[in-house]
């Protein structure tokens, strides 16, 4: 398969700060590549390097040529910060961008793809909600039916249903051969969409692989968490010898417990007279990979995942992301 995006030892510094400290990667045609990493890791700088909107050291090629030489109509870009004229309706905005290309998709059909129909399409940009504005911006990036689509945090501020419909849209585009380079703070989004994921930390790409590969390598083991006052020390020796036990966040944890062994572990607890309020079996996911490789925890603040974002995005109202996992408990230092 052809390599559509190639970065070789890309470096970018601002003063004495290295935004990119020698990043190399390649993305194949039709691949969805998800870039994750903490705030300030260099994700937007890498998108800018790949789109030729900032000068960098090292080699970058897009569709086989330097990014500044690629035919404009073949690239779609949704920057992280995009502030179109506020006194245009969503329809006028998309039509404006359509007019920049010799050939473009039908404005109404692109608006429908992002879920902006009826009155919303004829509402001034400044009067749309934050999520509707983001949808309009996604539509503007799609209108030229690009071969390569760069989306820098595309779903920020978009509600869960809107995110899912956008994910379906991106699935369809990738299936049709569009190469998608996506940055996101939503691990659920990246796990759901990306064929491969790169984790950028302090300007360095510290891991690249499919979500499954990364989870297998860095995600740690599955575990059973028991809400109880019991601690490992309070359990009989025979149980302590048989299981890898830990006490964490006020819970008793059976580390590395496979689903088929849950019943036996619970029977052991009951025969030891342990009282518990709840049991949760957890399989590691991309969030665990992120935490283990960045050393962050979700108690560190709103830097990651679906936590509230400065530009208007927000966590689901109960603080849980799309995968329903509790974001409130810090687990980064646990493994």
Task: Kindly state the smallest distance separating residue 287's Cβ from ligand ATP, in Å.
Answer: 16
Piece in contact with ligand ATP (CB under 6 A), picked from 43-51, 58-66, 140-148, 245-253: 43-51
Report yes or no: 46 and 7 within 8 Å, Cβ to Cβ.
yes
> Judged by CB, which is closer to ligand ATP: 220, or 302?
302
Q: Which of residues 48-87 bind ligand ATP (CB under 6 A)?
A: 80
Task: Kindly state the smallest distance separating residue 205's Cβ from ligand ATP, in Å.
Answer: 12
Piece in contact with ligand ATP (CB under 6 A), picked from 39-47, 90-98, 167-175, 282-290: 39-47
> Judged by CB, which is closer to ligand ATP: 24, or 271?
24
* 19 interacts with ligand ATP by CB under 6 A: yes
> Judged by CB, which is closer to ligand ATP: 252, or 289?
289
Piece in contact with ligand ATP (CB under 6 A), picked from 12-20, 212-220, 226-234, 235-243: 12-20
As beta bridge partners, residue 245 has 254
> Judged by CB, which is closer to ligand ATP: 45, or 107?
45
Closest CA to 106 of 163, 144, 157, 67: 144
> Judged by CB, which is closer to ligand ATP: 19, or 180?
19
Distances (CA, A) of 133 to 57, 62, 106, 156: 34, 28, 19, 10
> Judged by CB, which is closer to ligand ATP: 15, or 273?
15
* 41 interacts with ligand ATP by CB under 6 A: yes
Report d(CA 169, CA 112) in Å as an integer.
Answer: 11
> Judged by CB, which is closer to ligand ATP: 14, or 176?
14
Answer for which of 42, 115, 154, 198 binds ligand ATP (CB under 6 A) is: 42
Report d(CA 154, CA 83) in Å as an integer.
Answer: 14
Report yes or no: 59 and 68 within 8 Å, Cβ to Cβ.
no
Q: Which of residues 92-131 bind ligand ATP (CB under 6 A)?
A: none
* 45 interacts with ligand ATP by CB under 6 A: yes
As beta bridge partners, residue 227 has 251, 278
Answer for which of 10, 23, 27, 37 binds ligand ATP (CB under 6 A) is: 37
Task: Kindly state the smallest distance separating residue 296's Cβ from ligand ATP, in Å.
Answer: 12
Report d(CA 122, CA 106) in Å as an integer.
Answer: 16
Report d(CA 285, CA 77) in Å as an integer.
Answer: 29
Pairing of strands 251-255, 244-248: antiparallel
Report d(CA 208, CA 132) in Å as an integer.
Answer: 32
Task: Kindly state the smallest distance separating residue 79's Cβ from ligand ATP, in Å.
Answer: 11
Piece in contact with ligand ATP (CB under 6 A), picked from 33-41, 191-199, 213-221, 287-295: 33-41
Closest CA to 255 of 244, 239, 242: 244
> Judged by CB, which is closer to ligand ATP: 80, or 234?
80
Closest CA to 289 of 226, 206, 225: 206
> Beta strands of 168-259 (E only): which ranges?
179-183, 196-201, 204-209, 223-228, 244-248, 251-255
Closest CA to 107 of 123, 91, 122: 91
Positions that interact with ligand ATP (CB under 6 A):
14, 17, 19, 37, 39-45, 80
């Amino acid at each position: 398969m052809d390599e559509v995006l190639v970065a070789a030892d890309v470096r970018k510094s601002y003063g004495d700060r290295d935004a990119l400290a020698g990043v190399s990667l390649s993305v194949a045609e039709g691949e969805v590549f998800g870039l994750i990493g903490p705030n300030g890791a260099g994700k937007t700088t890498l998108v800018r390097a790949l789109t030729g909107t900032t000068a960098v050291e090292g080699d970058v090629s897009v569709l086989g040529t330097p990014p500044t030489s690629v035919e404009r109509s073949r690239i779609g870009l949704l920057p992280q910060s995009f502030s179109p004229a506020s006194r245009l309706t969503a329809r006028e905005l998309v039509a404006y961008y359509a007019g920049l290309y010799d050939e473009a998709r039908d404005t109404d059909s692109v608006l429908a793809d992002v879920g902006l129909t009826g009155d919303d399409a004829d509402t001034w940009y400044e009067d749309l909600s934050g999520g509707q504005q983001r949808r309009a911006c996604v539509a503007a990036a799609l209108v030229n039916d690009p071969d390569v689509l760069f989306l820098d945090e595309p779903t920020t501020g978009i509600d869960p249903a809107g995110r899912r419909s956008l994910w379906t849209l991106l699935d369809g585009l990738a299936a049709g051969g569009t190469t998608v380079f996506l940055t996101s703070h939503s691990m659920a989004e990246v796990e759901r969409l990306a064929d491969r994921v790169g984790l950028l930390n302090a300007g360095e790409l510290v891991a690249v692989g499919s979500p499954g590969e990364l989870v297998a390598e860095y995600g740690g083991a599955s575990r059973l968490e028991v809400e109880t006052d019991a601690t490992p020390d309070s359990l009989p020796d025979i149980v302590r010898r048989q299981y890898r036990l830990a006490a964490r966040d006020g819970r008793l944890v059976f580390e590395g417990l496979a689903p088929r062994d849950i019943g036996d572990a619970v029977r052991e607890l009951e025969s030891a007279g342990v009282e518990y309020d709840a049991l949760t079996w957890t399989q590691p996911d991309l969030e665990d990979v992120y935490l283990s490789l960045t050393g962050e925890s979700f108690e560190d603040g709103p830097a990651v995942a679906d936590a509230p974002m400065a530009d208007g995005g927000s966590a689901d109202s109960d603080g849980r992301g799309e995968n329903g996992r509790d974001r409130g408990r810090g687990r980064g230092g646990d493994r």
